Chain A
Amino acid sequence: MVIVGGINMRKILATIIAVTSLGYSSAFAGTLVINTDLTDPAPKAAFEWAFNKFQEENPDVTIEVNNFDHEGYKQAIRNFLTTNPPDVFNWYAGNRMLPFVRAGLVEDVSDIWSDTGWVDGNLTEGMSHAKKPMTIGGKQWGIPYTYYQWGVYYRKDLFEANGISVPTTWDEFVAACATLKAAGITPITIGSKYLWTTAGVFDYLNLRTNGYEFHMALTKGEVPYTDPKVHAVFDKWDELVKPGYFLENHASLAWQEAIPPMVNGEAAMYVMGNFSVALFKEGGLTNDNLGFFQFPEITPGIPMAEEAPTDTMHIASGAKNKTDAKRFLIFLSRADVQEEMNKTLGQLPVNSGSKVDPDPFLEAGLNMLNNAYAMAQFYDRDAPAEMASEGMKGFQEYMVNPDRRDKILERLEKVRQRVYK
């Protein structure tokens, strides 16, 4: 690092403290250093299993794990990749890894994806559908090991009581909202305090109105935010926001705080990721009254693409033990390993050779994603960070003040011109 100033010194120091306190010692031959942020119980258990299994199969390798706190990891990764790179680290697909790839901190692993000699089976076959989000500049930079679907979670009993069947078209969806609202039930719950939930709604409206290609073009900055196609998305959004189909006061609620209204029967739907199922069930809902459906079609004939944020493993370009790091990535891409890990994670394996547990939500998700035209990573992973943060602020402001649409889109256009120049 050329510039060593107040901020950097402090951050470096913080990293050193974090790393040493985690019992770090410098790597020697045969040691595989892995940095992760998997502190939540399920990911922790899944990876503990994977580490043990890898160790069993490769007794010559010693695994050394530095586990960071989930939020702190987002800061720490920038420091450890530049100052003290591990061999392997976990991160996310899409544009989220772009700054690190561009700075030359991530190892190109295209050979794992193309050279079948590395792998027992064939990686490209089992995971070809997930190759795109791992590709930057024609090369692959990591291995995906888990993902989950987004869609609409709903109260089956409330739908039944009001004579609503699962909507498959936009008109049916809006009609369902109107019926629920008339019955005194908030049609859609949402907590937008931390902004990203609004992006889920925007992404689906955009994917269904304009399709996957437009979503990618927009997040890549190729289309202005004042484009009529963007306005078309907001026209559809208007149909939900203006009649008040979303939960009141959502701007002061975290996404978890929007779950109780649905558990209490005050709200009927939530556009969310599959990780929410655990919380719904903790709140007392069961497979009998909680259901899942695919976000309905808006423009007929547009192929249905889905949101499926993917978690990934990468090799640092400064890794000391790249051979074992690649062995670990190949191990992690295997169908049997992903199957076992995702059973613990409660998510979907990326390798299409893996099976999932008999869980209605996972089965629905797997079925939906296997038939998906394409998979978006989510607005804040497909768009660069700066654009994403401004965009999501704009979505939140729009959801409370729909009449400010033009002003918001003009502001986002200004940001787009700055960010992508």
Chain B
Amino acid sequence: MEQTNSQLKNQDTKSHEWDTRLHHATKATHEDWIGRGISYFCIGIIILVVASMLWFITSKGIATFTQNHVSLWKFLSGTNWAPDQGQIGALPMILGSFAVTFAAAIVATPFALGTAIFMTEISPNRGRKFLQPVIELLVGIPSVVYGFIGLAVIVPFMRHVVGGSGFGIISATFVLFVMVLPTITSMTVDSLRAVPRFYKEASLALGATRWQTVSRVILRSATSGILTAIIFGMARAFGEALAVQMVIGNAAIMPKNLISPASTLTSQLTTGIGDTIDGTLPNNALWSLALILLLMSLFFNALVRFIAKRGQLKHER
């Protein structure tokens, strides 16, 4: 753009009236440049931040293996976590993280589906007026509040109902259930609303009941969106630190059952990071845990993209 303008200027400086207007950029063009400059600047900064974070966590996280010469296999499969004594088997935390994540997703999905169907198909009006704000409120509650409620209500409740100390995977599951429910619900609502209206109309016109329409047409065609919603919920559960840490008990031992204390990658990170020294094995080991978390969230993102792509293909056919 700039080039062509200046070329024009050089070629015929004293020519007809109509191209004198093109000799310098107009105000609108200037605004265009400024706008583009600002967006490129912002994008540049964001890319820089993301790239440097990836680089930072990766370089710190692999120090355990390059500097302290712990074998990767030992780190991933070892069950003894005692960094002060040089033992860094991370399997208990990895299992703990996956256990609470899957358990929370399994418990939350039916509730989220039911709520979403109610909000879109059964009673859209009440859904929009009443349930929507409730769900938005649930998203807005800080995780420390969930953790505190978990500690004050769920832990004693579990102690009375199932025994043990009350701290454990099951308490963490229930806290996370409430935390991922709004995420899964609101994304499911979006994907149900995105189902073309004529699918529903066609189905009803063919004589299908409302339940048949919902279960065989609407849910079926929104499957990829619902799966995406569940995975986003799982990503949130996997990364949640504070609330889980308050109710799971933080014992770096292999989870034997749902009611004995366990720990997750995040809970171990938050409890340990203040007491370790930069550059030593205990500190590097924590960075390696952070690296696993990062890789897992990249994996969740990739999975979402994969599902979205396949869903798109299906709709086009």
**Chain A bound to chain B:** no
